[in-house]
Structures are given as structure tokens and as C-alpha cells.
Amino acid sequence: MKFIETTLWQDGKERCVTFSYDDGRIEDRRLVALFNKYGLKATFHLNNPGFEKHFPQFLSDPEFVSPEEYKELYRGHEVSCHGEQHSFMYYTPDEYIRREIRENRRFLESVMGYPVRGMSYPFGSFDDRVIANCRAEGMEYARTASESMSFGIPSDFMNWTGTCHHERATKELFEKFMSPMLYGFMRLYYIWGHSYELNTEEKWAHMEEVCKTVSGHEGIWYATNIEIVDYINALRGLRFTADCTAAYNPSCTDVWIKVDREPVCIPAGKTVAL
Ligand SMILES: [Zn+2]
């Protein structure tokens, strides 16, 4: 029997890099320019306009990207939910959580013109009840505010802890990411943060260094958060014969697996003998 491993990203790559930024402050403009310069993909988690009035204690005169700019600015990246009011969902009623997502989705979708299917938890505040409510409102993934400092893929995308905040995206961590894999698992390097934290030229220089370091590698797939979710769902959705001699891909996404350690593509809608 052949050795089958469902451990490859798009185009048979073994590694994937994604970025995730919250709150939609005007510093996103410079950050997007940086991502575009280095051919990187990111997801931007945005609230409804005016949410900041609930948090005068934290925000001194913040400036936000205007919705008229979203389409142009975030082109090629993903716009995703972050709650209508940026509330602490753990401390709010079910009805309020659902409204947080529903109204946020409606607003973002009206601007972007596509289904908005993911989110990051405002303040990283969530539990199983929050997950259930967000899922009920159509969310397919949600990023926490924790750091795994590793490169795994979550079993449940509604509890998605990234690798690290950009401050800890060091050269050493990237070297670990790129190091040879003993068992050939697929790796994901997930960097998150807030563009307004980049408030000195020194911090911007670090961010540019991070982008430069992770960019331009042949063996890395650069993807938005939802592209990763769609790909992994397609990969997990493969159907195998009982003896794993054939695989059927019922999705509309081409996926890659390893057969005796060699990459094999299972095209969308096709059955492949292995
Ligand atoms: Zn936030």
C-alpha cells in the first residue's frame, strides 16, 4: 500500500504565510503598500464606522480608513469581521454577539460586494458560547489574540491561534519555519497585529524586515486567511476509496497530497488513481 499524506498546500508547496491585522486604522495604508511591495497577502478585520466612541479611554483621536477607500486599498487582500462595536464578546448576551457579527457583515459586504466569512475576536475575548454564536452568523474562522509560536493548522478554525504578533516575528523564528521537516507536515506561519502599533520608524523598519524575510520564496504559498480555510476544507473534504487507491475531490479547489512522499494534484471535481 502506498504512503498517503494530506500535507501539501496549493501547487504542492509545504509552507504557507499569512498576515492578519485588526481595527482598520489609517496606518493600514502604509502596511498594505508594504505587503503589496513584497507580494504578500493579508486579511484586515474591520468594525463598523463610529465604534470607537465606546472606547474613549483607549483611543485618543484615532483615524480610520474610510469605507470609500476599502475596495481600492484592500484589493487583493481580504476584508473580514471584527464586530460592529468591537465588544468584549465573552461578556455580552447571545443576542448582542449575533448582532455584532450580523451588522458588521452586512456593512462590510455592502462595501466589498462579496460574502464576508471570517473574523478576529475583538480584544481576543471568546469562549465556546461566543464560538457557537459567531458560527451561527456564518463565520467560518476566527482568530484569537494568542500566540502559538509554532506553525500548525487548527482543528477548528473558529479557535485559530496564529504563530505570533509581528513584534516576535524574528529571523530565528522564520529559520525554524524554513528548517527541514522530519515528517513532512505542512507548515503555516501566521503573523498578526495592528498597524497603529507601528508608531515609530524603527517599528516600521522591523515590519519591512519581516515582510522582506518571508517574501519571495518558491516553496511558500502566500494566502489570505479565508484562502487558507477554503484550501484546508477542500483538502479535508477529499474522499478516498477504502484502500486509498483513488481520491475524489468534490470541491472547486485543486488540492495536493503526498503519495509515497511525492506531490500529486487532485484537481477540482476529479477522481485520481493513486
Ligand atoms: Zn481590535
Q: Is residue 5 in a domain?
A: no
> Mean of the pLDDT values across residues 189-200?
97
pLDDT digits (tens, 9 = 90+) for 150-169: 999 999 999 999 999 999 99
Among residues 217, 232, 214, the alpha carbon closest in space to that of 154 is found at 232
Euclidean distance between CA atoms 222 and 15, whole angstroms: 9
CA distances from 174 to 2, 8, 16, 213, 257 (A): 33, 19, 12, 8, 24
CA distances from 117 to 105, 142, 158, 217 (A): 8, 9, 11, 28
Number of structural domains, the chain? Answer: 1
pTM: 0.96
The pLDDT of residue 54 is above 90: no
pLDDT digits (tens, 9 = 90+) for 211-232: 999 999 999 999 999 999 999 9
Euclidean distance between CA atoms 240 and 13, whole angstroms: 21
Range of the domain at 97: 15-226
**81 Cα to the center of ligand 1, angstroms:** 10
**234 Cα to the center of ligand 1, angstroms:** 30
Helix H segments across 153-200?
A: 171-178
**226 Cα to the center of ligand 1, angstroms:** 18
Q: Is residue 241 in a domain?
A: no
**122 Cα to the center of ligand 1, angstroms:** 5
The pLDDT of residue 60 is above 80: no
**87 Cα to the center of ligand 1, angstroms:** 9
Q: Is residue 242 in a domain?
A: no
Q: Is residue 124 in a domain?
A: yes
**118 Cα to the center of ligand 1, angstroms:** 14
**180 Cα to the center of ligand 1, angstroms:** 35
pLDDT digits (tens, 9 = 90+) for 102-122: 999 999 999 999 999 999 999
The pLDDT of residue 149 is above 70: yes
Which residues, in sequence order, are CB contacts of 93 under 8 Å at separation 6+? none
Euclidean distance between CA atoms 52 and 58, whole angstroms: 9
Euclidean distance between CA atoms 61 and 32, whole angstroms: 22
The pLDDT of residue 56 is above 80: no
Q: Is residue 232 in a domain?
A: no
Q: What is the CATH number of the domain that holds 122?
A: 3.20.20.370
Q: Is residue 97 in a domain?
A: yes
Q: Is residue 47 in a domain?
A: yes
Which residues, in sequence order, are CB contacts of 193 under 8 Å at separation 6+? 20, 21, 22, 165, 166, 167
Q: Is residue 192 in a domain?
A: yes
pLDDT digits (tens, 9 = 90+) for 15-46: 999 999 999 999 999 999 999 999 999 999 99
Euclidean distance between CA atoms 245 and 92, whole angstroms: 50
